[in-house]
């Protein structure tokens, strides 16, 4: 049975065209390396080494090693070369996993709509991080400050939704590409240097597509990483703005 399972994983990986290039890898020094194909068909990923996370770019991969440029959360960069072994590849998610991830997104939406910071943070693992388009990772502490500030500023009615465009699994993780839609009331801000005027509440609607990695824990599914953030749009009182 084990030989059949290994063969199945190999066949699925090859059919997806990712077996030799992408997946989750363990380096000889213990670092965890993730590689995937981005929307622009470029290979990208991240590396976790101890308590540090780095976004990876300019990646080359052979049968036993990964070479890349690593950008850390403090903005520093280093060229790395790691001997690695493949430990997991992406496969289509089952119907059960889809239902569980959809429920996790509903809980996430409720936390935002109720402005419940603790419930929001409870859906993130301790090592949660994001990799924005500029490629400089933001760790959980930094993202917690942003989340707290946002939840304090927004006013009801608040609606948020995540449409799952694609869902795969990889070991104990689920990887969802989602279109996030977020509508809220928020006090308008004066432009820097402008004469102060009466501040009024505005309706803000934003949409963005991003790739979100979840991990199944003893407390349920929790967010591990957000990356591949793209296609952002913003509306202010119904009018699209830059």
Give tens-digit pLDDT for 102-130. 999 999 999 999 999 999 999 999 999 99
pTM: 0.85
Give tens-digit pLDDT for 57-89. 999 988 889 999 999 999 999 999 999 999 999
Q: Is the pLDDT of residue 242 over 90?
A: no
* pLDDT range class, residue 196, cuts 50, 70, 90: low
- Residue among 184, 143, 145 at smallest CA distance from 161: 184
Q: Is the pLDDT of residue 194 over 60?
A: no
Give tens-digit pLDDT for 206-237. 999 999 999 999 999 999 999 999 999 999 99
- Residue among 87, 98, 76, 104 at smallest CA distance from 165: 98
Write down the pLDDT at residue 238.
93
> Do the Cβ atoms of 123 and 108 come closer than 8 Å?
yes
Write down the pLDDT at residue 13.
40
For residue 6, the SS3 value is helix
Which CATH number is 91-241 given?
3.10.450.50
Write down the pLDDT at residue 198.
56
Write down the pLDDT at residue 20.
58
* pLDDT range class, residue 21, cuts 50, 70, 90: confident
* pLDDT range class, residue 191, cuts 50, 70, 90: very low
- How many Å apart are CA 64 and CA 104, to the nearest integer? 36
Task: Name the residue ranges covered by the structural domains of the chain.
Answer: 2-88, 91-241
Q: Is the pLDDT of residue 6 over 50?
A: no
* Maximum alpha-carbon separation in the chain: 73
- How many Å apart are CA 177 and CA 146, to the nearest integer? 22
Residues 6+ apart with CB under 8 A from 114: none
Q: Is the pLDDT of residue 94 over 60?
A: yes
Give tens-digit pLDDT for 129-164. 999 999 999 988 888 898 999 999 999 999 999 999
Write down the pLDDT at residue 200.
78
Tell me how many degrees the CA angle 96-103-37 measures, rounded to the nearest 5.
70
């Amino acid at each position: 049975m084990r030989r059949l399972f290994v063969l199945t994983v190999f066949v699925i990986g090859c059919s997806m065209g990712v077996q030799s290039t992408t997946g989750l890898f363990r380096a000889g020094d213990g670092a965890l390396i993730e590689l995937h194909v981005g929307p622009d068909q470029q290979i990208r990923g991240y590396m976790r080494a101890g308590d540090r996370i780095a976004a990876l770019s300019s990646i080359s991969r052979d049968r036993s090693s990964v070479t890349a440029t690593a950008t850390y959360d403090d903005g520093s960069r280093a060229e790395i070369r790691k001997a690695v072994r493949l430990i997991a590849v992406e496969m289509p998610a089952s119907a059960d996993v889809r239902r569980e991830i959809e429920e996790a997104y509903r809980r996430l939406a409720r936390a935002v709509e109720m402005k419940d910071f603790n419930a929001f943070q409870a859906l993130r693992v301790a090592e949660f991080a994001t990799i924005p388009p500029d490629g400089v990772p933001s760790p959980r502490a930094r993202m917690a400050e942003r989340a707290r500030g946002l939840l304090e500023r927004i006013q009801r009615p608040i609606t948020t939704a995540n449409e799952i465009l694609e869902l795969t699994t990889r070991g104990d993780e689920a990887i969802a590409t989602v279109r996030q839609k977020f509508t809220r009331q928020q006090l308008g801000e004066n432009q820097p240097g402008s004469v102060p005027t009466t501040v009024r509440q505005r309706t803000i609607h934003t949409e963005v597509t991003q790739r979100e990695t979840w991990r199944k824990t003893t407390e349920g599914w929790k967010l591990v990483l957000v990356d591949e953030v793209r296609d952002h749009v913003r509306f202010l009182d119904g009018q699209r703005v830059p």
